[in-house]
């Protein structure tokens, strides 16, 4: 399978990420696409790391829901060489990880995996489909862990007002 082009946008000024590590993780998922309904469609994949307000604005614009959310996925057009776009909130990942004693990096990786799985055809709006999505998430996260392909994300501490 050819290596796909991946476009990564990092909006939160405090978020530190390794673009190469993210590309390696996506390549690992792509290489195991058969385990995930054929995987994400071919073409360029865009991954946007956003703040809560930015993702809430997208949520309002495209889904008529102004609340914050963790992941929004936009399908692309493989015929035009576009797989889709995965938009994730670094703020929501940080808050959820802190509130639930989870590792921030693992939580944000899960959000990227979740979006990739949406592009692969998984849905989580109904209980039965949500169970299938959660099982696929576990398989994908284990695959990345076992391959040593989990990207590392870091949040720099917030600046204190002077």
Residue-wise pLDDT for 129-140, tens only, equals 999 999 999 999
123 is in an annotated binding site: no
CA distance 48 to 160: 26
118 is in an annotated binding site: yes
pLDDT at 160: 75
In this structure, the number of other CB atoms found within 10 A of the CB of residue 120 comes to 21
In angstroms, the first-to-last Cα distance of the chain is 52
114 is in an annotated binding site: yes
Residue-wise pLDDT for 59-111, tens only, equals 999 999 999 999 999 999 999 999 999 999 999 999 999 999 999 999 999 99
CA distance 66 to 84: 22
Q: Is the pTM of this model over 0.75?
A: yes
What domains can you pick out in the chain, each with its CATH number?
6-149 (3.40.390.30)
Q: Could you tell me if 22 and 60 are in contact, meaning their C-beta atoms sit under 8 angstroms apart? A: no
Taking the CA of residue 10 as centre, how many other CA atoms within 13 Å lie in the half-sphere pointing to its CB? 12
Class of residue 131 by CB neighbours under 10 A (exposed 0-12, middle 13-18, buried 19+) = exposed
């Amino acid at each position: 399978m050819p290596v796909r082009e991946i476009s990564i946008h990092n909006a939160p000024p405090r978020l530190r990420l390794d673009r190469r590590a993210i590309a390696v993780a996506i390549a690992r998922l792509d290489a195991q696409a058969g385990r995930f309904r054929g995987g994400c469609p071919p073409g360029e994949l865009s991954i946007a790391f956003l703040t809560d307000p930015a993702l809430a604005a997208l949520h309002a614009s495209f889904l008529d829901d102004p609340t914050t959310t963790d992941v929004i996925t936009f399908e692309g057009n493989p015929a035009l060489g576009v797989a889709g776009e995965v938009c994730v909130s670094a703020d929501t990942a940080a808050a959820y990880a802190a509130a639930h004693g989870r590792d921030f990096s693992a939580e944000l990786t899960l959000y990227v995996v979740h979006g990739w799985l949406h592009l692969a055809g998984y849905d989580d709006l109904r209980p039965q489909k949500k169970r299938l999505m959660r099982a696929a998430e576990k398989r994908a996260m284990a695959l990345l862990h076992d391959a040593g392909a989990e990207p590392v994300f870091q949040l720099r501490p917030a600046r204190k007002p002077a």
